[in-house]
């Protein structure tokens, strides 16, 4: 789950990181009132879940009320690469002497958190990594030992930070790792991490991604979910406890068990098709869950055909068949379905489907046969 800049800054502040005072607002009038209250100059910042806001005109300095009003008017409603601005963060402006970069992300291949620091901040860090990799310090953190102050100081020195600033930078790095671990984040990034003319170091921007699977440990963070930005099908699936990920193809997929669903995506791709989603109905899914799954899949207008790939274990194939029959009774799908039922109660499941004589439902015996059939049916539709 991605956080807006100001939400990230609020988490930062909880862990002792220095951030500027500000207010989140959704109207021009509230923006102006916030700016007047904070005192000028202020920065008017678009709050959307995408970076590069500055370049897109979504970050503007205002030195008086008229400018605050003008910028708030222009930025609210602005479309930043497909993200419409509904909220602004009005922040007391900072004077900048230098812009650094700091982040911690999960390096899956190294199975460890990776801290990156550079004195070249404010710009795309990918550029720094590609053009001047020697200016980017990369340091894997030992998850058991954590990040010591000594290590953090060494990183700052290695990055070329001047002597009077290494303490400030090290403090930030230690706090950033505290946010990462204690809030169960998978990414914490500060770009730019600024040095002020009076030689203080602070976070001017915040990019935080929290681990969805750990949100149950942080009910206060779960409330930070940004509504209106998520995929509507993903939101509906989450409501019903289905594991759903939207993809960009046209073949809807439903299976039980993450491994089986992933293999199904592979065989469909191998057969020349392009999956529209990943949907794991879970082990032991009942008819109601299956019905909800069908609704979620068909909520995506790009879907031209659907593949059900069920390997019955705890999940009973007759339950799945009943779910499909219930879904057809309610939503009357017009796209073809290919259904492969194998395992617990598969004979009963197939019998139920045969008796129900659902229009446009094609049984398949094996996974490969099912994939080929569904790809052919999808092609017929286009
Ligand atoms: P991003 O473009 O989405 O990464 O948004 P940032 O929050 O990083 O802001 C973009 C740029 O705006 C920064 O790199 C700064 O150069 C500038 N900026 C943001 N806040 C301030 C501020 O308080 N004072 C000044 N002088 N510049 C700012
Ligand atoms: Mn930034």
Ligand 2: distance of its center to the CA of 193 in Å?
A: 9
> Looking at the structure, do residues 295 and 210 belong to the same domain, yes or no?
no
Q: Any idea which of 40-49, 66-75, 221-230, 326-335 has the lowest mean pLDDT?
A: 221-230
Ligand 2: distance of its center to the CA of 63 in Å?
A: 21
The residue to mutate among 5, 55, 59, having the most atoms of ligand 1 within 8 angstroms of its beta carbon, is: 59
Residue 204 located in a structural domain? yes
CATH number at residue 124: 3.30.470.20
Q: Which two tokens stand for residue 215?
A: 């949100």
Ligand 2: distance of its center to the CA of 379 in Å?
A: 44
The residue to mutate among 71, 123, 202, 205, having the most atoms of ligand 1 within 8 angstroms of its beta carbon, is: 205
Instruction: Please identify, among 73, 92, 111, the residue that sits at the C-terminal boundary of a domain.
Output: 92
Question: Where would I find the beta strands (DSSP E) of the chain?
Answer: 22-25, 42-46, 59-62, 79-80, 83-84, 88-92, 98-107, 112-118, 136-140, 185-195, 201-203, 207-210, 243-246, 251-255, 277-280, 305-312, 337-343, 361-363
The residue to mutate among 96, 120, 126, 208, having the most atoms of ligand 1 within 8 angstroms of its beta carbon, is: 96
CATH number at residue 283: 3.40.50.261
pLDDT of 229 higher than 80:
no
> Averaged over 4-19, what is the pLDDT?
96
Ligand 1: distance of its center to the CA of 310 in Å?
A: 51
For the beta carbon of residue 227, count every other beta carbon within 10 angstroms.
Answer: 7
Ligand 2: distance of its center to the CA of 51 in Å?
A: 7
Please report the atom of ligand 1 found closest to the CA of residue 54.
Answer: 2
> Looking at the structure, do residues 161 and 302 belong to the same domain, yes or no?
no
> Looking at the structure, do residues 288 and 167 belong to the same domain, yes or no?
no
> Looking at the structure, do residues 268 and 329 belong to the same domain, yes or no?
yes
For the beta carbon of residue 162, count every other beta carbon within 10 angstroms.
Answer: 13
Q: Name residues whose C-beta falls within 8 Å of residue 355's C-beta, 6 or more positions apart in sequence.
A: none
Active site residue 189: yes
Choice among 6, 100, 101, 177 that is catalytic: 101
Choice among 178, 183, 189, 372 that is catalytic: 189
Residue 210 located in a structural domain? yes
| Atom 15, ligand 1: residue with shortest CA distance | 122
| Cis peptide leading into residue 41 (ω within 30°) | yes
**272-298: pLDDT as tens digits:** 999 999 999 887 778 888 889 999 999
> Looking at the structure, do residues 356 and 266 belong to the same domain, yes or no?
yes
Q: Which two tokens stand for residue 43?
A: 């920065």
Distance, in Å, from the CA atom of 196 to the CA atom of 94, rounded to the nearest integer, reads 7
| Backbone torsions φ then ψ of 283, nearest 5 degrees | -75, 140
> Looking at the structure, do residues 265 and 318 belong to the same domain, yes or no?
yes
Q: What angle do CA 226, 231, 237 make, to 5 degrees?
A: 100
pLDDT band per the 50, 70, 90 thresholds, residue 227: low
**257-274: pLDDT as tens digits:** 999 999 999 999 999 999
Q: What are the residues facing 190 on neighbouring strands?
A: 102
What mean pLDDT, rounded, does the chain reach?
Answer: 94
pLDDT of 97 higher than 90:
yes
Residue 12 located in a structural domain? no
Instruction: Please identify, among 65, 92, 119, the residue that sits at the C-terminal boundary of a domain.
Output: 92
Q: Which ligand ends up closest to the CA of 21?
A: 1
Residue 254 located in a structural domain? yes
The residue to mutate among 38, 192, 195, having the most atoms of ligand 1 within 8 angstroms of its beta carbon, is: 192
* Ligand 1 interacting residues, C-beta cut-off 6 A: 43, 51-54, 59, 61, 93-94, 96, 99, 122, 191-192, 204-205
Domain housing 137: 98-222
Residues, the chain = 382
> Looking at the structure, do residues 137 and 167 belong to the same domain, yes or no?
yes
Please report the atom of ligand 1 found closest to the CA of residue 99.
Answer: 14
CA torsion sign, 121 to 125 to 128 to 133? positive
At 228 the pLDDT is 65
Please report the atom of ligand 1 found closest to the CA of residue 96.
Answer: 26
Please report the atom of ligand 1 found closest to the CA of residue 205.
Answer: 7
Residue 188 located in a structural domain? yes
Element (H, E) at 379: helix 367-381
Q: Any idea which of 108-122, 153-167, 287-301 has the lowest mean pLDDT?
A: 287-301
Domain tally, the chain:
3
Residue 3 located in a structural domain? no
Active site residue 101: yes
> Looking at the structure, do residues 46 and 72 belong to the same domain, yes or no?
yes
In the DSSP assignment, the letter for residue 33 is H
| Torsion, CA 167, CA 169, CA 174, CA 175, rounded to 10 | 110
> Looking at the structure, do residues 123 and 213 belong to the same domain, yes or no?
yes
Q: Which two tokens stand for residue 227?
A: 């509504």
> Looking at the structure, do residues 136 and 54 belong to the same domain, yes or no?
no
> Looking at the structure, do residues 124 and 239 belong to the same domain, yes or no?
no
At 304 the pLDDT is 97
Residue 335 located in a structural domain? yes
**50-77: pLDDT as tens digits:** 999 999 999 999 999 999 999 999 999 9
Instruction: For the chain, give the percent of residues with pLDDT over 90.
Output: 82
pLDDT band per the 50, 70, 90 thresholds, residue 237: confident
Q: Which ligand ends up closest to the CA of 189?
A: 2
Ligand 2: distance of its center to the CA of 352 in Å?
A: 57
Residue whose C-alpha is closest to residue 114's, from 52, 170, 187, 47:
187
Distance, in Å, from the CA atom of 320 to the CA atom of 341, rounded to the nearest integer, reads 9
Confidence (pTM): 0.76
Residue 1 located in a structural domain? no
CATH number at residue 70: 3.30.1490.20
Distance, in Å, from the CA atom of 253 to the CA atom of 138, rounded to the nearest integer, reads 40
Instruction: Please identify, among 189, 222, 255, the residue that sits at the C-terminal boundary of a domain.
Output: 222
pLDDT band per the 50, 70, 90 thresholds, residue 239: confident
> Averaged over 113-130, what is the pLDDT?
92
Ligand 2: distance of its center to the CA of 74 in Å?
A: 20
> Looking at the structure, do residues 159 and 85 belong to the same domain, yes or no?
no
| Atom 10, ligand 1: residue with shortest CA distance | 54
Q: What are the residues facing 194 on neighbouring strands?
A: 99, 202
Q: Which ligand ends up closest to the CA of 51?
A: 1
């Amino acid at each position: 789950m991605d956080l807006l800049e100001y939400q990230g800054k609020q988490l930062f502040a909880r862990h002792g990181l220095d951030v500027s005072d500000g207010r989140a607002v959704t109207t021009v009038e509230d923006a102006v009132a916030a700016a007047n209250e904070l005192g000028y100059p202020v920065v008017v910042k678009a709050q959307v879940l995408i970076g590069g806001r500055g370049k897109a005109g979504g970050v503007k300095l205002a030195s008086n009320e008229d400018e605050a009003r003008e910028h708030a008017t222009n930025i609210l409603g602005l479309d930043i690469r497909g993200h419409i601005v509904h909220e602004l963060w009005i922040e007391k402006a900072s004077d900048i002497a230098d812009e650094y970069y700091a982040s911690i992300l999960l390096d899956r291949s190294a199975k460890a958190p990776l801290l990156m620091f550079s004195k070249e901040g404010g710009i795309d860090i990918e550029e720094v990594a590609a053009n001047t990799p020697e200016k980017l310090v990369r340091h894997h953190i030992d998850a058991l030992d954590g990040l010591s102050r000594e290590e953090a100081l060494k990183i700052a020195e290695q990055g070329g930070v001047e002597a009077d600033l290494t303490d400030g930078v090290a403090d930030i790095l230690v706090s950033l790792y505290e946010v990462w671990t204690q809030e169960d984040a998978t990414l914490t990034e500060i770009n730019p991490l600024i040095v002020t003319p009076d030689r203080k170091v602070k976070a001017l921007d915040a990019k935080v991604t929290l681990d969805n699977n750990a949100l149950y440990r942080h009910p206060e963070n779960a409330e930070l979910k940004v509504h209106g930005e998520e995929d509507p099908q993903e939101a509906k699936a989450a409501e019903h406890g289905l594991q759903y990920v939207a993809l960009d193809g046209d073949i809807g997929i439903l299976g039980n068990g993450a491994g089986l669903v992933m293999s199904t995506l592979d065989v469909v791709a191998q057969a020349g098709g392009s999956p529209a989603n990943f949907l794991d109905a879970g082990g032991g899914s009942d008819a109601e869950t299956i019905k909800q799954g069908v609704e979620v899949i068909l909520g995506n207008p790009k879907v031209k055909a659907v593949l059900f790939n069920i390997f019955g274990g705890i999940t009973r194939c007759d339950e799945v068949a009943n779910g499909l029959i219930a879904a057809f009774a309610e939503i009357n799908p017009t796209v073809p379905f290919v259904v492969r039922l194998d395992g617990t109660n598969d004979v009963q499941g197939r019998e139920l489907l045969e008796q129900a004589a659902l229009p446009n439902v094609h049984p398949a015996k094996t996974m490969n046969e099912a994939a080929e059939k569904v790809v052919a049916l999808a092609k017929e539709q286009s």
